[in-house]
Amino acid sequence: MIDKNLVYIEIIFLLGVLLNVFVPRNIFLKILIVIVLFLFVIKEIDDYKYIKQKYLYVGYGFVVLLVLFIITEYIINIYYIAALICLVVIYLYLFKVLFNTTYGKVIKVNRGKVSILVCDPFYKTKKEIDLSYSGKIKKDDIVILELTKFPINKKITRIIKVISEEKEVVLEIQKPKVKPTKKVKKKK
């Protein structure tokens, strides 16, 4: 599953890197690309309510890396270049290690077995996952899933939490309760 917002973020990031490589000394244009990338990340944050931390890590990470690539034009020391390469590797490694959850939508429920379609654009799978689950779960529920802690080839291990679609709709429709005011009798 390819998410269009993530593709746009990657395109803006690569455009900024290419501008840094091929357009020398135009700092205004480079800062403009950084600002556009930052604003796009902030604008699209509401589409990722179940994986907001992953999205912010990727978005803000790309903004910081783009700024570091712009600085490479002014600092050409070999130690800075080596540090930049190490930071990129650490950034990619931490993305694999830090985030051990994903989410999906329940497709089928059969006596203790649940079929789930993973909706997370960061977790690349197109097939449905079958897990055992003993709690209450219905078709079209959103579930939070746990991934293995090993950074390479993460597998889904279990269901952490079930988020019912009906609960979300009820919470959005419910109005806040207003406390009734007490009537005070005046003494004459």
In the chain, the DSSP E strands lie at 101-110, 113-118, 129-132, 142-147, 156-163
Total structural domains within the chain: 2
Estimate the crossing angle of helix 27-43 against helix 4-22, to 10 degrees.
Answer: 170
- For residues 136 and 111, membership in a common domain is answered with yes
Please report the sign of the dihedral spanned by the C-alpha atoms of residue 112, residue 115, residue 120, residue 123: positive
Which residues, 6 or more positions from 16, have their beta carbon under 8 angstroms from its beta carbon? 30, 33, 34, 37, 66, 69, 70
- For residues 79 and 146, membership in a common domain is answered with no
- For residues 84 and 130, membership in a common domain is answered with no
- For residues 13 and 60, membership in a common domain is answered with yes
Q: What is the chain's pLDDT, residue by residue, as a tens digit (188 residues)? A: 568 899 999 999 999 999 988 988 889 999 999 999 999 999 999 988 888 999 999 999 999 999 998 898 888 889 998 999 999 999 989 988 888 888 888 888 888 788 888 888 888 776 788 888 877 888 888 888 888 887 777 888 888 888 876 555 444 455 555 565 666 666 65
Asked whether residue 84 is domain-assigned, the answer is yes
Asked whether residue 175 is domain-assigned, the answer is no
DSSP three-state, residue 145: strand
Asked whether residue 117 is domain-assigned, the answer is yes
> What's 132's domain CATH number?
2.40.50
- For residues 83 and 135, membership in a common domain is answered with no
CA distance 152 to 55: 19
- pLDDT score at 132: 82
Asked whether residue 19 is domain-assigned, the answer is yes
Provide the residue range defining the domain that includes 76: 4-98
C-alpha angle 151-157-159 in degrees, rounded to nearest 5: 125
DSSP-assigned letter for residue 2: -
Asked whether residue 177 is domain-assigned, the answer is no
